Chains A and B, each alone.
Chain A
């Protein structure tokens, strides 16, 4: 990206190192802006989708057309809200929690490949890096629950931690066959293995098809979405681990959650749905790559929203049953089967 910057007349005289740093900062700024705007868009679209699924309109007034500016108004409201801190809270932990949750989601965006050259940091260990940063969120959830010094928050945090760490295992196991096939953890390389017609997408390989469904369902659990929203369960735990947060701190939890929804969808698109390729070679022009990638990711985000307003919540015991007794055995068997087939064929 810094080559592009050096071509601009205003910046052409600057030394290369300065340009590199400028490129990094501007890329980060663009992504930060996209998270803020995208997060608001997702919140608005979630409310609209929820409205239409329940035969009502959802927000209609702020911003004229179908209440498009509703989320912006809510953001301003949260900025102006009084910050109420519980007297008995463990202050450092309590303050750190929303930062960890937001940073965990934000740092994952660095490696998302929107196009061959349109990526913050093209890490060779991209997939592993995303698995690591998404674990940061668990730390935030636990420190929120423990730091709040509140019974609801502690229950929510414990459930959240147990759920997220449990589902990380089928999630990782579901990604492994694809890594074995492509021989790389670099997200760009994984996408390039799916170039060409749509049948090259990993989704349409029978074994990866199983992986895809395990990935999609486990990723719902990773981002605490219905039917896996036990850490929040507004009907039994008030609001779960973020019960004691108001104003901007609450906004960070909220933004982090919606950014995370996009991250898991984008990784699903990268690994299984052909990433920036449209599936029709004639349409694969570099200018369209980011658009295709974002549209596919939005579709998976829409599926998450759709499921939220369709399915009832699971119980804790059902949640653990599905993870440990269904997904982990299936994912391991799938992995071994893939290995056997490859070994026999070679």
Chain B
């Protein structure tokens, strides 16, 4: 078994060697002519405007949080899945119903997040009047939630 992991390690070293050798080969062959305009951040040919550390949608953080919960769940279930067959023989149906309970607890979490609307990427805003929409830079006919179904109000994109 140790030898198998040693192979993985040797592969990693080989991969790194390949990366460095090809970078060095490229360094010896390629031209080098840097100047300030060339090294500007690319913004479609315009002068870069402001800082590139822009604000982005907070939902990216929420997705990362949900991911951790469910990924830990999968890691927890993998060893169980491997011994599932044996467990059915030794401890019987309990092997399954215990994991069933665990998954149900997690499903309650998923249902909670779902009902809170945190899985919706686009939040529908119920606007009082057209002025409020215009102030937010939106139109009454922007598409709403879920797969392009027209919303009641308007929606806000990333």
> What is the bound-complex CA distance between A67 and B93, given in angstroms?
60
Given contacts A86-B39, A155-B56, A343-B93, contact A169 B100 (CB under 8 A): no
- Smallest CB gap from A146: residue in B: B53
Interface residues of B in 120-158 (CB under 8 A from A): 120-122, 145-148, 157-158
B96 to chain A, nearest CB (A): 4
Interface membership of A330, Cβ < 8 A: no
Chain B CB within 8 A of A277 CB: no
Are the CB atoms of B8 and A107 closer together than 8 Å?
yes
A294 CB-CB contact with B under 8 Å: no
Contact assessment for A165 and B29 in the assembled complex, using a CB-CB cutoff below 8 Å: no
Contact with B along A162-173 (1 / 0, CB 8 A): 100110110011
- The answer to whether A79 touches B60 (Cβ under 8 A) is no
CB-based contact A79/B22 at 8 Å: yes
A297 touches B (CB below 8 Å): no
B15:A85 contact, CB within 8 angstroms: no
Across the interface, which residues of A come within 8 angstroms of B19, CB to CB? 99, 102-103, 252
User: How far, in Å, is A255 (CB) from chain B's closest CB?
Assistant: 10
A122 on interface, CB distance cutoff 8 Å: yes
- Contacts A88-B52, A238-B44; A128 near B78 (Cβ below 8 A): yes
Which residues of chain B come closer than 8 Å to A317, judged between CB atoms? 120-122, 145-146, 157
Question: A200 to chain B: closest CB distance in Å?
Answer: 17
Contact of B26 with A179 in the complex, beta carbons under 8 Å = no
Indicate whether A53 reaches chain B with its CB closer than 8 angstroms: no
What string of 1s and 0s marks CB contacts (under 8 Å) between A150-194 and chain B?
111111001001100110110011001001110111000000000
Q: Please tell me the number of chain B residues within 8 Å of chain A, measured between CB atoms.
A: 77
Of listed B16, B82, B86, residue having the most chain A CB within 10 A? B82
**CB <8 Å contact, A320 and B56:** no
Q: Restricting to B14-34, which residues have a CB under 8 Å from any CB of A?
A: 14-16, 18-19, 22-23, 25-27, 29-34
Interface membership of B83, Cβ < 8 A = yes
Complex: chain B residue closest to A177, CB-CB: B81
- Residues from chain A with Cβ under 8 Å of B71 in the complex: 165, 168-169, 172
Partner of B30, one of A83, A121, A243: A83
CB-based contact A150/B42 at 8 Å: yes
Q: Which of A87, A107, A339 has the most CB of B within 10 A?
A: A339
| B73 shortest CB reach to chain A, Å | 8
- Residues on the B chain within 8 Å of A120, using CB: 7-8, 11
Cα A158 to Cα B42 in complex, Å, equals: 18
**Distance in angstroms between the alpha carbons of A72 and B74 in the assembled complex:** 41
Q: If the complex has contacts A32-B15, A342-B96, are A25 and B74 also in contact, measured as CB distance less than 8 A? A: no
A262-270, A301-309, A321-329: which one contacts chain B?
Answer: A321-329
A205 to chain B, nearest CB (A): 15
For the complex formed, measure the closest distance between the CB of A150 and the CB atoms of chain B, giving whole angstroms: 5
A122 to B157, CA, bound (A): 47
Report yes or no: A121 in contact with B7, Cβ–Cβ below 8 A. yes
In the bound complex, CA of A155 to CA of B67 (Å): 19
Beta-carbon contact of A243 and B42 below 8 Å: yes
**A103-B12, A169-B70, A185-B78 in contact; A151/B147 too (CB < 8 A)?**
no
Complex Cα–Cα for A275 and B64 (A): 33
Shortest beta-carbon distance, A83 to chain B, in Å? Answer: 6
A-B contact pairs, 30 of them (CB 8 A): A79-B26, A80-B30, A81-B30, A82-B30, A83-B27, A84-B38, A87-B39, A103-B15, A103-B19, A106-B11, A106-B15, A107-B12, A120-B8, A121-B4, A121-B11, A124-B1, A149-B53, A154-B56, A155-B56, A185-B82, A248-B23, A317-B122, A317-B146, A320-B119, A321-B147, A324-B114, A329-B110, A332-B103, A336-B103, A339-B84
Known pairs A79-B26, A87-B41, A316-B157; list 7 more (Cβ under 8 Å): A31-B11, A99-B19, A103-B19, A106-B15, A176-B74, A346-B88, A346-B93
By a beta-carbon cutoff of 8 Å, the part of chain A in contact with chain B is 20-21, 24-25, 27-29, 31-32, 79-88, 99, 102-103, 106-107, 109-110, 120-124, 128-129, 148-155, 158, 161-162, 165-166, 168-169, 172-173, 176, 179-181, 183-185, 238, 243-244, 247-248, 252, 316-321, 324-325, 328-329, 332, 335-336, 339-340, 342-343, 346
10 pairs of A and B residues whose beta carbons are closest in the complex: A317-B121, A28-B14, A121-B7, A172-B74, A179-B81, A87-B39, A24-B10, A343-B96, A248-B26, A183-B85
